[in-house]
Amino acid sequence: MKHNRLIIETDIPAKMRDGVTLYADIYRPADEGTYPVLLTRLPYSKSYGLHFIRPNILAEQGYIVIVQDVRGRYASEGEFVPYIAEVDDGYDTIEWAASLPYSNGDVGMFGLSYYGYTQVLAALSGNTHLKAIAPIMAQNSMTDVFNDHDGALELGMWETWNLESMLPNMLTRKYDTREELEKAANTLMKNLDKLDELYKFKPYKNWPAIGQKEMPYFSELLNYEPTHNHWQKIDAKSNYDKINVPGLHVAGWYDCFLDKTIANFQNGHHRGLGDKLIIGPWTHANFGQMIGDRDFGMAATKWGEANMHARHLEWFNHWLKQEPLPETARVNYFVMGLNDWKTADTWPPQNTDFTPLYFKTGEVIADFTPPKQASEANFSYDPENPVPSNGGGTLHKELHADGPRDQQHLELRDDILCYTTAPLEGDLEVTGPVQVKLWAKTDAPNTDFTAKLVDVFPDGTAFNLADGIIRASKQHGNQVQNQINEYTIDLWATSNLFKKGHQIRIEISSSNFPRFDPNPNTGDSFINSTESQIAHQTIYHSPDYPSHILLPISR
C-alpha cells in the first residue's frame, strides 16, 4: 500500500543516556496506525539529502523514516569524535525510535559509508528492537581504514575527509562571530584548492590545514597506536559475535571499504543470519556505469542507484513486515571485462582455484610455472619522490583519484617493477580475494612494499584492478633491515575477465601517495618526523624464494 500523504517533522529531540540531545527529521505516513522504523544516523547533515536513497520514498511504502544528526554534528548537541559515541547513541536512538507513539517497535537501519558503520556499531549494542540493517560500502573498524592499513596510514582519506566533510560544520560550532567564521571559511576553501600540495606537508601532526581549536581529535588520533583502547569500543571485526541481525551489504571493486564490506557479509553469512552481498564495479558512493576511465555498460546499474530503493524495500519488507524475500542468490557480483553479473552462494565463489602466477626475469616475466633458476630485481625507493596514486579504492581529492585508470605513464618510473605475462591464448576469469607473496630485502630499518594487479589491453592500455601495501615492520617487527623476508600483500578482491590477447601484469613498488603515507625508511614515520632516507630494495624469484601473486581463477 502506498501512502500518498506524509507528515514531515523536523528537529525532533532524542535525549541520550548522558543528557546530550540529538535531533532528527521524521518522515511518516499521515494515515493512522503504527509502522516499523527505518533509521539512519549520519554526520553530513540530516537536511543535506541522502543522495542514494530518499526518505520520502521509503515513508510512502509504510515506514517511519528517521534521519538523525550524530553527536556533535549540525543540529545535535555534544562533541564529535569519529564513531566513539555511536554504539551507545545508536542503542539509545533505537530505543527512542521504538517507543514513538506511531512506531510498532521494530527498527531497521540504512545508510552508506559513515552512516553504514553507524548501523554496524548500533548492531553491536545489542538493542533487540533492531531487526535488520543495510550497511552500504561500510567498514568494520576505524584503524583499518585510518592508521593501520596493513601498517600504513590512509593519509589521503584522513586528510581529505576531515578537511572537506568534517571541518565546515565544526567551524560554525567553534567560531562565535561572523567575521571569525568567514575568515576560517575562506581559508578552508583556499586549502581545498591546494590540497595536492598540502598532502606533501609533514609532519602530519602539524598539518596546517586543520587547527587544534577547530578539530582537536585530528592530530591526537594520529598518534594512537592501533592497539590503543580508544579503538576497541568501535571495532566491529573483533566483536562480530555481538552482531545478531541480518545485513544487506553493497560493495564496489574500487571502493575504499571493499574488503571490510565483504568481511561484514561473511560474518553474518557464516553465522546463518541471512546476510546478502552485492559487489559492483563502483567507486565510493558511485553506482553508475562510467567508473574512472572505463565504461562498464548499462548492466553495471542493475543493482545500482536506479534500483537502490527497490532493493532496500524488498529487504526491509521481509525483515520488518514478514513479506517473502524475492528468490535471489546470497552473492551477486559484477565481472569486469565480461561486463555482466554472476551469482554465488558464498564468498569467494565455490568454483575458485587459487593459482600462483610466478615472477621471473627474461622476455616474459610472469607465468604459471614455478621458477627453476634464481634471479632478482632491484629498485630504489625515495620517500621524497613517491609513486603517485593513480586510481584504485581511494577516498581523496586529486586528479585521477579513484577507479580504473591507465597506468602506462607510471610504469615508466624506475621505482616500479612490472611483471607481465605473454598475451593470453584464451579468456581467463579472476574472481575472489587476491594476495601477493613477495620475498624481498631492504637496506633500510623499515620500508613498505606495494603491489598492483593490472589488465593490459592489446593496445597497451593498462587498467588497475586491485592494489595493496605492507609496512615491513607490521609483519616482521625489527627483523627487516638486510633480511630476506616473505611479505604478504593483501590486494583485497576483484572480479575481472582477462580476455584473449590481454596480458596480466603485477606492479611492485614501495609507495602509493597520497593514498598511503610514504614510509621514510628510517624506522620512524612522517606523523612526527620529517627525516627520510632512500631504501634500496631487492625482489627475489627463485625455487627458494618464489615470489608470486595468488590469483583466484574461476573454473
* Grid cell 551489504 in the structure block, residue: 249
- Give how far the C-alpha of residue 306 lies from the chain's centroid of Cα atoms, to the nearest Å: 22
Active site residue 255: yes
Which are the contacts of 194, defined by CB distance < 8 A and separation ≥ 6? none
Distance (Å, whole) CA 87 – CA 500:
50
DSSP assignment string, 498-552: E-TT-EEEEEEES--BTTSPPP-SSSS-TTT------EEEEEEESSSSB-EEEEE
Distance (Å, whole) CA 553 – CA 435:
13
For residues 318 and 324, is the Cβ–Cβ distance under 8 A? yes
Annotated active-site residue in 149, 249, 284, 541: 284
> Treating both helix axes as pointing N-terminal to C-terminal, what angle do 167-174 and 178-193 enclose, rounded to 10 degrees?
160
Q: Give the 3-state secondary structure of residue 28.
A: strand
* Grid cell 598539518 in the structure block, residue: 207
Whether the bond between 383 and the residue before it is cis, its omega within 30 degrees of 0, is: no
Which are the contacts of 423, defined by CB distance < 8 A and separation ≥ 6? 458, 500, 501, 502, 503
Q: With pLDDT > 90 as the criterion, what percentage of the chain qualifies?
A: 94
Look up residue 441 and give its three cell numbers: 630485502
| Torsion sign, CA atoms 288, 493, 236, 244 | positive
CA atoms within 13 A on the CB side of 192: 14
Q: Give the 3-state secondary structure of residue 163.
A: helix
Higher pLDDT pick, 348 / 363: 348
Distance (Å, whole) CA 71 – CA 78:
5
* C-alpha closest to that of 83 among 134, 38, 118: 118
Q: What's the pLDDT at 258?
A: 98
- What confidence category does residue 362 fall into, taking pLDDT thresholds of 50, 70 and 90? confident
What pLDDT, in 10s, does the model give residues 249-278? Answer: 999 999 999 999 999 999 999 999 999 999
Question: Counting every residue, how long is the chain?
Answer: 555
Distance (Å, whole) CA 423 – CA 360:
16
Q: What is the pTM of this model?
A: 0.97
What pLDDT, in 10s, does the model give residues 387-445? Answer: 999 999 999 877 778 999 999 999 999 999 999 999 999 999 999 999 999 999 999 99
Mean pLDDT of 148-172: 97
Residue 336 has pLDDT above 70, yes or no: yes
Q: Give the 3-state secondary structure of residue 355.
A: strand
Active site residue 284: yes
Q: What's the pLDDT at 18?
A: 98
Residue 221 has pLDDT above 90, yes or no: yes
Average model confidence (pLDDT) across the chain: 96
Active site residue 375: no
Q: What's the pLDDT at 364?
A: 74
Number of other CB atoms surrounding residue 172 within 10 Å: 11
Residue 49 has pLDDT above 70, yes or no: no
Q: With pLDDT > 70 as the criterion, what percentage of the chain qualifies?
A: 99
Q: What's the pLDDT at 305?
A: 67
List, as own/partner pairs, every contact residues 29-32 make where C-beta atoms lie below 8 angstroms and the sequence separation is at least 24, other chains included: 29/3, 29/5, 29/59, 29/60, 29/62, 29/64, 30/3, 30/5, 30/6, 31/3, 31/5
Annotated active-site residue in 76, 113, 141, 525: 113
Pairing of strands 35-42, 64-69: parallel
* C-alpha closest to that of 11 among 66, 92, 79, 93: 66
Mean pLDDT of 168-178: 93
What pLDDT, in 10s, does the model give residues 15-40? Answer: 999 999 999 999 999 999 999 999 99
**If DSSP states are collapsed to H, E and C, what string results for 441-500?**
EECCCCCEEEEEEEEECCCCCEEEEEEEEEEHHHHHCCCCECCCEEEEEEEEEEEEEECC
What pLDDT, in 10s, does the model give residues 57-87? Answer: 999 999 999 999 999 999 999 999 999 999 9
Annotated active-site residue in 235, 255, 275, 455: 255
What pLDDT, in 10s, does the model give residues 441-486? Answer: 999 999 999 999 999 999 999 999 999 999 999 999 999 999 999 9
